[in-house]
Amino acid sequence: MRKGKPRFPQSRPASNRHPEAGTPGRSKPVPTSSGSSKPGRARTGGPHDSRRKPAKPSPDHRPEPIAEEDRPPRPGPRDRDTESGQSRRALPERSGTSGFWLYGLHAVRAALGNPRRHIHRILVTRELAGELFDGIDRSARPRPLPTPESMDKDAIARLLPVGSVHQGVAARVEPLPYIALEDLTADLDANAPALLVVLDQVSDPHNVGAILRSAAAFGAKALVVTERHAAPETGTLAKSASGALDVVPLVRVSNLARALELLKKANFWCLGFDADAPDSLPKTKLAERVALVLGSEGRGMRRLTREGCDLLLSLPTGGPIDQLNVSNAAAIALYEWARQHGRPR
């Protein structure tokens, strides 16, 4: 990389795609009580004496745990009925219903508009029922949507994790179908500009959701994450993504180093972000086909991930705090690529 304003070629031969290989890194026994004798009394405490006192337990003794099936049933959560003032149990799940809950207007509406999303139940308040399906093409779905169930906000809240901000709507859904990275790259036009985001073991669902939202705003084609040590698909992630979970494909890979090699073969430049990188993002001319690679907060990218990147870049800062949250760093990198290539317009 030459100094000044480094530039990427728009394509390069396969022989130059691979970076140089990096070097390999880096009991006590329980005491018993004995009987005592007094003058004029019969001695007690013998082996056949029914009056013998039980031995005192050892300080190290712990009672045997009670098996879960032997425990008495725990009372379910109770809430106040807003109309009657009486307490009542949380509504039970229907038998045979799997998946997880999405909640929030944007997240649920995006799921309703995604033909790939299988939906079991839809819960909505009377106030939102009229606008929930506005602009959604139900005919594009392979299976019909379930009939919405009208509930008040408190009844919906009892089905969701504590503190969920559901805005009067929720949906019980299945995780999205698996997408292979090979299929994703094959479906993309090999000669057209394309932007991907790759996360190396970022496990906070709020961060992943925020990155999905930024990826949707700046036209990224997909978000690639690791199968292990990464945020699962949950209602919290979907709420943070504000609907982007059903808009931007989420691709999970078992080996991130191999995934980067596959992206290079598909003519993507893999740009890793590191606070100590010598080159900075503002001084770099970005190629039209780029995969932005970011690591977890604190640890950053792993060694093999760093070695798999074509170039490492930093985001210069000048304030008292010199590092950014990973979702903020992703948003800045996404914006810079979109700015340089006039996208989105």
pLDDT at 40 over 90: no
Range of the domain at 150: 95-173
Statement to judge: residues 166 and 312 lie in one domain? no
Same-domain check for residues 332 and 237: yes
pLDDT band for 14, please (50, 70, 90 cuts).
very low
For residues 316-321, give the mean pLDDT. Answer: 84
Question: Any alpha helices (H) in 136-255, and if so which ranges?
Answer: 153-157, 181-187, 205-217, 235-241
Question: 209 pLDDT exceeds 60?
Answer: yes
Say whether both 168 and 286 belong to one domain: no
- CATH number, domain of 159, equals 3.30.1330
Q: What is the DSSP string of 38-62?
A: -TTS-----TT-TTPPPPPPPTT--
Q: Is 65 within the bounds of a domain?
A: no
| pLDDT score recorded for residue 59 | 52
pLDDT at 80: 38
**Mean pLDDT (the chain, rounded):** 80
Answer whether residue 261 shows pLDDT above 80. yes
H/E segment holding residue 307: helix 303-308
For residue 139, being part of any structural domain is answered with yes
- pLDDT value of residue 140: 82
Which of 173, 208, 242 is a domain's end point?
A: 173
- Same domain? For 128 and 105 the reply is yes
Q: Looking at the structure, tell me whether residues 276 and 210 fall in a common domain.
A: yes
pTM of the complete model:
0.72
Q: Is 84 contained in some domain?
A: no
Confidence of residue 323 (pLDDT cuts 50, 70, 90): confident
Structural domains of the chain, count: 2
Residue 33 lies in a domain: no
Least confident span in 21-30, 133-142, 214-223, 244-253 = 21-30
Indicate if 248 and 153 belong to the same structural domain: no
Last residue of a domain, one of 156, 173, 190: 173
Same domain, 281 and 187: yes
318 or 15, which is more confident: 318
Q: Are residues 206 and 335 in the same domain?
A: yes
The predicted model gives 255-284 an average pLDDT of 96
Q: Is 328 exposed, middle or buried (0-12, 13-18, 19+ CB in 10 A)?
A: middle
**62 or 21, higher pLDDT:** 62
Q: Does any domain span residue 63?
A: no
Tokens of 212: 């999905």
Mean pLDDT across the stretch 331-344?
91
Q: What is the CATH number of the domain that holds 313?
A: 3.40.1280.10
Q: Do 295 and 313 fall into the same domain? A: yes
DSSP state of 169: E
Residue where a domain stops, chosen among 151, 173, 195: 173
Closest Cα partner for 330 from 179, 209, 238, 233?
209
Place of tokens 């795609």: 17
Q: Which residue has the higher pLDDT, 24 or 104?
A: 104
Phi, psi of 331 (to 5 degrees): -65, -40
Whether residues 124 and 169 share a domain: the answer is: yes
- The strand order across the sheet containing 100-103 reads 100-103, 169-173, 119-124, 149-150
Q: Is the pLDDT of residue 339 over 90?
A: yes
Q: Does residue 51 sit within a domain? A: no
Q: For the chain, what is the total number of helices (H) and then of strands (E)?
A: 8, 13
Residues 200 and 253 in one domain: yes
Which pLDDT tens digit goes with each residue over 273-283?
Answer: 998 899 999 99
Q: Quick check: is 128 in a domain? A: yes
Which residues are 199's β-sheet partners?
A: 294
Instruction: Break the chain down into helix, strand, coil percent, rounded to 5.
Output: 25, 20, 55
Q: What is the pLDDT of residues 302-315, one digit of tens each?
A: 999 999 999 999 99
Percentage of the chain beyond pLDDT 70 is 71
Co-location of 298 and 211 in the same domain: yes
Please indicate, yes or no, if residue 17 is contained in any of the structural domains.
no
Q: pLDDT tens digit string along 71-91? A: 444 444 334 333 333 333 344
For residue 344, cis peptide bond before it (omega within 30 degrees of 0)? yes
**pLDDT-based confidence at residue 171 (cuts at 50, 70, 90):** very high
